């Protein structure tokens, strides 16, 4: 697995994952920019994603759902804040109802993803910021740490193919 560090900082309300890949920046970027590739890793292996809408432009939306082992569906959305292809992406990530409408009862996360050249490959930093300690603790209790690790852990195989 390419994950080199995970840092949960409750004082600063952040979660940061760093992963190193043996692939060029442009190739790692395609795992985010191509909805069919995003589907193959966005979500733990037992909850594969289906991307319905994928607009990586500022103000654009990405909508998706993850299907669990029992056929249960969990909907989500991104609101794209900024894009600097092929090195960075910032978006607000949230939960949605079965119609794709944001679920206001659930926390949102602002995620900043950055790709840089590193040791002949690519370093990916995923930095998530939360609005409150309660929101962050809720996400961690829901399995965010393990889910992100499992999801990113699928990227190596995709980059190798």
The tokens of 140 are what? Answer: 């961690």
Q: What CATH number is associated with residue 79?
A: 3.30.530.20
Say if 60 falls within a structural domain: yes
Burial class (CB in 10 A: 0-12, 13-18, 19+), 77: buried
Cα 133 from Cα 8, distance rounded (Å): 11
What is the pLDDT at residue 2? 87
pLDDT digits (tens, 9 = 90+) for 104-154: 988 899 999 999 999 999 999 999 999 999 999 999 898 888 989 999 999
ω into 113 cis (within 30 of 0): no
Count how many domains the chain has. Answer: 1
Domain that holds residue 99: 46-121
Element (H, E) at 29: helix 25-33
Specify whether the CB–CB gap between 43 and 153 falls below 8 A: no
* pTM score, whole prediction: 0.92
Give the separation between CA 29 and CA 158, rounded to whole angstroms.
12
């Amino acid at each position: 697995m390419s994950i080199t560090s995970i840092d949960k900082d409750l004082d600063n309300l952040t979660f940061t994952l760093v992963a190193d890949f043996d692939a060029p920046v442009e190739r790692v970027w395609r795992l985010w920019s191509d909805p069919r590739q995003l589907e193959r890793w966005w979500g733990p292996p037992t909850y594969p994603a289906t991307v319905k809408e994928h607009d990586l432009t500022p103000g654009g939306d990405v909508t998706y759902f993850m299907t669990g082992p029992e056929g249960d569906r969990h909907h989500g959305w991104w609101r794209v804040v900024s894009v600097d292809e092929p090195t960075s992406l910032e978006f607000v990530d949230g939960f949605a109802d079965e119609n794709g409408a944001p679920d206001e009862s659930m926390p949102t996360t602002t995620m900043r993803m950055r790709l840089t050249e590193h040791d002949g490959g690519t370093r990916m930093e995923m930095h998530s910021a939360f609005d409150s300690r309660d929101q962050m603790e809720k996400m961690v209790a829901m399995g965010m740490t393990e889910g992100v690790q499992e999801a990113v852990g699928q990227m190596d195989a995709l980059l190798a193919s």
